[in-house]
Structure 1
Amino acid sequence: MDPSIGSVLLEEVLPRVATIAVAIAGGVAVANALVAFGAIRYIAALSKPLTRPANLPDEVGGAILTTAASTTAGYGMLAEYRDSGLLDDRATLVAVTINTFFGFVQHIFTFYAPVLIPILGLRVGLLYVGTRAGVSLAITITGVVAGAFLLSARNVNPDAMREVDPEARTDGGDDRTSREKLLDAGRGGLEKTWEILPRLAVVYTLVVLGTTYYDLEALTGGAADPLAALTGLPSAAVPVIVVYALDTTSGALTLVPFIEDGTFTARTAVATMLIGGIVSFTVSTFKRSIPFQYGIWGAEFGTKVVIVNTVLKVAWISVALVVLLAI
């Protein structure tokens, strides 16, 4: 029996929207505080090897590194920079692409190390996490290269943050007290959250209700069979891909017995999970990426971010898959 709409809203939509709202408010507040106190100079210095070759301003470095702690907070900071005029759309897409590896880093500590590696075992787990890390790093490097060739001074406005708040200078040398700076930073975070939250809540609610009352398993399962046949993986890969595409942890648990009885080697096991990751984009893009990106950026620019993220992920996972199967 399907859950009631009320229970879906209370148990799934409300906690998720609230979590995102808190992360956005915190991320934007941190960005404002870093600028106000001049700390952005020190944080950005750590990311100059990425931002400088990509022709991005130093402020973007803070958002990139923040993504390692919270993807939502990092995106919130970039949204603030785009709205202020510091970055145009092209520069923002490059910054979002460079963010990819740092977004992956946080999942190592929150999911891969404590959950997935113990399930899969050390050998398979480390090979899978290492492969996904390589994919994320390749996407980040793609962003740096794209910035080097596609961005110039026309795509950024270094004075934009000062124009938004004339009293705030990157050296922290304004006349406000520390308390005033913190209050202004927090106020900016709340204002940005209030701007984004209604749109985010509406889109996410529609998506969750749609996926709750409509079965997507048949669509995902249909895509798994030809993919497995094309790669020459064992027939047992098909159910693993289907389950993995719907839930990563359950997919890993489904795969373990086949690893233990020798049906899959470490290499073919990881290849199967990578295919499951590609197939899962049909679900995760609709269920998570679109609501999140539309909530952050709006429908028009959010669509561009979703397309760029999806194309790069599928492309580089496909490269990793070819390499694994060719070894």
Structure 2
Amino acid sequence: MQSLLSVLLEEALPRVLTISLLIGAGVGLANLAVAYGLVAVVARAGRYLTEPANLPPAVGTAVLTNAVSVTAGYGMLAEFREEALLDDRATLIAVVVNTFFGFVQHIFTYYGPVLVPILGLRVGLMYVGARAGISLAITLVGLLAGAVLLRGYEYDSTALEPDAPGEEPRTNREKLRTAGEDTLERLRSIVPRLAVVYSLVFVALEYSERILAAFASAGIDDPGAVLAPIAGLVGLPGAAVPVILVSLVDPTTGAITVAPMIGDVLTPDEAVIALLVGSLVSLTIGTVKRSIPFQFGIWGAAFGTKVIVVNVCLKAAFILVTIGVFVLV
């Protein structure tokens, strides 16, 4: 078991630094886009997403940024909310609309180069297609929610004006300095929260053996026995239980585990279902390990909790729907 200092320096610190840099990039880009009036230019490309959801055009910039960096896209939304362009309801809907575009990035960085080669072309495309469908469905829910819940909303169009009416235009140096100052100010409010929450999470994970010992003392010393009824409920054989169990901790290892079983032990559909069930059950671990530190760091505990609840509930709902489709078809 690593020492407390080792956990903080080797696990928490690199994650905090990486995410802080990405958030800084997102907030900085948002401030520069505002300073130079680029928000309106980029927003034209995203208006087909923002208009149906009754979101301000500037949100299209953050939505499209998600296809490159989810963290930077969230950083932009956080800046728009900080500038009072978005209220809490509009921000939540914007977060939901972002979902599919955040997934697009992972197609090129993870699903395509990693999972498809492991699972094989057929099963790999089936699984990636299922995950893409889940993300797209969530985005469509966001568009529908915006169309209904944000109807008639009026946004403060002056919130992101590069120069207030009546003011003399600023020089490039002044714009860059102001954008930099605003970015540093925003990071000063975010980074301490990131550091505290990530430190607590990684320390808890490092000492998780004590948690497992507590489960064992309660008679739950075989997690597979808990998952077996879940596998049976969706028609999976007992051989799928190890896949689900491994996927709880690491989806890549889950794919590696299921790959040799495809064709002989599990059908392609059963392999995809096993991975989806694993991803459904692992939502709790993913929330504790990634979502809580990230969302609390960006939004604070109160609004961050709302974002987490909305994201987790929508993901769980559509994963269940997708599993149902594979089981019934």
TM-score band by shorter chain is over 0.9
Residue 48 of structure 2: aligned partner: 49
Report what 2:177 is aligned to.
183
Q: 1:97 to 1:270 in 2, by over 3 A?
A: same
Amino acid at match of 1:239: P
Deviation at 1:146, TM superposition (A): 0.1
Q: Describe the superposition over 1:49-93 as per-residue Cα deviations: whole angstroms up to 9, x where unpaired.
A: 110010100000001111111111111111111111111100000
Residue in 2 that maps onto 1:152: 151
Q: What one-letter code is carried by the residue in structure 1 that aligns with 2:235?
A: G
Distance 1:99 1:168, change over 3 A: farther
Deviations 1:182-222 (CA, angstroms, capped at 9, x unpaired):
23222222211111110111011001110111147778646
**Residue matched to 2:233:** 230
Deviation at 1:305, TM superposition (A): 0.3
Higher deviation after alignment, 294-303 or 28-37:
28-37
Deviation string 1:280-306 (CA, Å, 9 cap, x unpaired) is: 012111111111111110111100000
Aligned residue for 1:236, secondary structure, equals helix
Deviation per residue, 1:123-177 (Å, 9 max, x gap): 1111111110010000001000000000134463222234xxx7368xxx96122
Instruction: Tell me the equivalent position of 1:198.
Output: 192
Equivalent residue for 2:312?
Answer: 310
Unaligned runs of 5+ in 1: none
Within a 5 Å distance, the mapping from 1:236-315 to structure 2 comes to: 236-260=239-263, 262-315=264-317
> SS state of the match for residue 238, structure 2?
coil
Say whether 1:213 aligns with 2:207: yes
Residues 12-27 of structure 1 mapped to structure 2, 5 A cutoff: 12-27=11-26
Question: Which contiguous aligned blocks of 4+ residues in structure 1 show a shift greater than 3 angstroms?
Answer: 152-156, 215-223
Q: Is the 8 A contact 1:87 1:155 kept in 2?
A: no
Judged with a 3 Å threshold, the aligned counterparts in structure 2 of structure 1 residues 77 and 104 are, in CA distance, closer, same or farther, namely same
Q: Deviations over 1:1-43 (max 9, x none)?
A: x111121111110110001110111101101111222222221
Structure 1 residues 221-256: Cα deviation after superposition (integer angstroms, max 9, x where no partner)? 465222101001111111100101110111111111
- The one-letter amino acid paired with 1:85 is A
The count of residues paired between Structure 1 and Structure 2 equals 319
Q: 1:181 to 1:277 in 2, by over 3 A?
A: same
Greater alpha carbon shift after TM alignment, 295-304 vs 251-260: 251-260
Structure 2: gaps (5+ residues): none
Structure 1 stretch displaced more, 152-161 or 237-246: 152-161
Q: Aligned pair in 2 of structure 1 residues 174, 306: CA closer, same or farther (>3 Å)?
A: farther
Q: Which moved more, 1:146-155 or 1:215-224?
A: 215-224
Structure 1 residue aligned with 2:103: 104
SS of equivalent to 2:5: helix
- The separation in 1 between residues aligned to 2:208 and 2:168, in whole angstroms, is 55
CA contact (8 A) 2:240 2:274 kept: yes
User: What is the aligned partner in structure 1 of residue 59 from structure 2?
Assistant: 60
What letter corresponds to residue 137 of structure 2 in structure 1? A
**Gap change, CA 1:175 and 1:222, over 3 Å in 2:** farther
Per the alignment, residue 84 of structure 2 pairs with 85
Residue identity opposite 1:229 in structure 2: G
The residue type equivalent to 1:177 in the other structure is T
Kept after mapping to 1: 8 A contact 2:103/2:132: yes
Aligned match of 1:94: 93
For normalisation by structure 2, the TM-score amounts to 0.92
For residue 95 of structure 1, report the CA deviation from its aligned partner. 0.2
Matched residues in 2 for 1:174 and 1:140: separation?
A: 41
One-letter amino acid of the structure 2 residue matched with residue 55 of structure 1: N
- Shift of the 64–223 alpha-carbon distance from structure 1 to 2, 3 Å rule, reads farther
